[in-house]
Copies of this chain bind each other. A is one copy, B any other.
Amino acid sequence: MNQNLPDEHRKNWDVLSVFQYLYQQQSISMLFILIIMWVILSLLSPYFFTVNNLFEITLQSAVIALIAAGESFVIFSGGIDLSVGSVFAFSAIVGGLALQFSGSVIVSLMASIGAGLFAGFCNGLAIIKLKIPPFVATLGMMGIARGLALILCNGVPIYGLPREYLWIGQGRIAGIVPVPTIIVIILFTIMYFILRNTRFGRFTYSIGSNPEATRLSGIKVSSVTLGIFMICGMFAAIAAVIESARLGTMQPASGNGYELLAIGSVFIGGASIYGGEGNIFASLIGALLVTTIRNGLNILGVSAFYQYVVNGLIIIFAVAADQIRRKH
């Protein structure tokens, strides 16, 4: 339970307490479930547990994981952001156009991230200034950002990305570890640190847990909220860069439905819809879980229609298994 908190047991590092501590950590428990799933899949198919395929899973989950990282901030603070899928497409296209105009990868990256931050800023503004519930504000932005993405590129995908751009999505460090995987690890570590060890991070949880008490404690809830939504938009943009680089194209129709996958990952990771709790690594594991299920079902050759069913069942039972642990 108590996952978002600094280590309580730092003093007595005996084996039992370490184990107990791990057991209590949301992220570890979902990791268990993930590992169990991996073991089962390895038994079922010889193609599953290969270095290549495991890296493939981290690669395939990178995009959803990054969106889920931003979404985690929003959800931990008690909100929700439905616009990430559209903001994803919007920032991809903005980056693509910037690339075409400037020819510079750096400019393109900055344009993408700027677009993501801007969309997040608008979400935040609608929420704090117009006092619209996050669900509605981001539902509106979902339409707006999608429309802008399509308008900007006239519905036509952008092609012809330079080699350096492609490297972000297709490169491998030491010839084996995919660059997106590295990006995910670095960004999640930083975000974990921010959530745990900075005021901004603690306020994120605090707003989720009790916004009124937070306000009465003299904290500017509205600025923090603005920051949270901007982070969320930024991560959608980073994810968009990675996907564009993987595909070699920026697609205005992309990202459709990613909001559900990302939000799902965060909740599968065990965050509460009421906010105030959650571990960002658990969201990462949620994303890995979702991807593993997909990957595993593909590899087992489960046919498309049945995949929907099995996918749904596994999500339900994975989370149910986690609930059993929580009861203790």
Q: Flag if A150 contacts B308 (CB, 8 Å).
A: yes
Q: Flag if A309 contacts B139 (CB, 8 Å).
A: no
Check A44 for interface membership: any CB of B closer than 8 A.
no
User: Nearest chain-B residue to A256 (Cβ)?
Assistant: B257
Within 8 A of B (CB), among A303-328: 304-313, 315-316, 319-320, 323, 327
Q: Flag if B306 contacts A151 (CB, 8 Å).
A: yes
- Given A139-B264, A260-B82, A316-B126: A308 and B146 interface contact (C-beta under 8 Å): yes
Question: What are the residues of chain B within 8 A of A315 when measuring CB–CB?
Answer: 136, 139-140, 143
Within 8 A of B (CB), among A72-108: 80, 82
Q: Flag if A136 contacts B307 (CB, 8 Å).
A: no
Question: What are the residues of chain B within 8 A of A304 when measuring CB–CB?
Answer: 150
From residue A137, how far is it (CB to closest CB) to chain B in Å?
Answer: 6
Per the bound structure, the CA–CA distance linking A311 and B140 in Å amounts to 7
Question: What are the residues of chain B within 8 A of A327 when measuring CB–CB?
Answer: 131
Question: What are the residues of chain B within 8 A of A141 when measuring CB–CB?
Answer: 312, 316
Partner of A267, one of B135, B143, B150: B135
- Given A126-B316, A320-B131: A267 and B305 interface contact (C-beta under 8 Å): no
User: Nearest chain-B residue to A259 (Cβ)?
Assistant: B260
Partner of A140, one of B140, B305, B313: B313
Check A34 for interface membership: any CB of B closer than 8 A.
no
Q: Flag if A136 contacts B264 (CB, 8 Å).
A: yes
Within 8 A of B (CB), among A272-291: 272-274
User: Nearest chain-B residue to A307 (Cβ)?
Assistant: B147
From residue A64, how far is it (CB to closest CB) to chain B in Å?
Answer: 14
Question: What are the residues of chain B within 8 A of A143 when measuring CB–CB?
Answer: 308-309, 311-312, 315
Interface residues in chain A, defined as those with a beta carbon under 8 Å from any beta carbon in chain B = 80, 82, 126, 130-137, 139-148, 150-151, 155, 260, 263-264, 267-268, 272-274, 304-313, 315-316, 319-320, 323, 327
Q: List 11 A-B contacts (CB under 8 A).
A: A131-B327, A133-B272, A137-B316, A141-B312, A142-B312, A147-B310, A147-B311, A147-B312, A148-B309, A150-B308, A155-B305
Q: 7 additional contacts, CB 8 Å, given A126-B316, A136-B268, A143-B312?
A: A80-B273, A130-B319, A132-B319, A133-B273, A136-B267, A143-B315, A155-B305
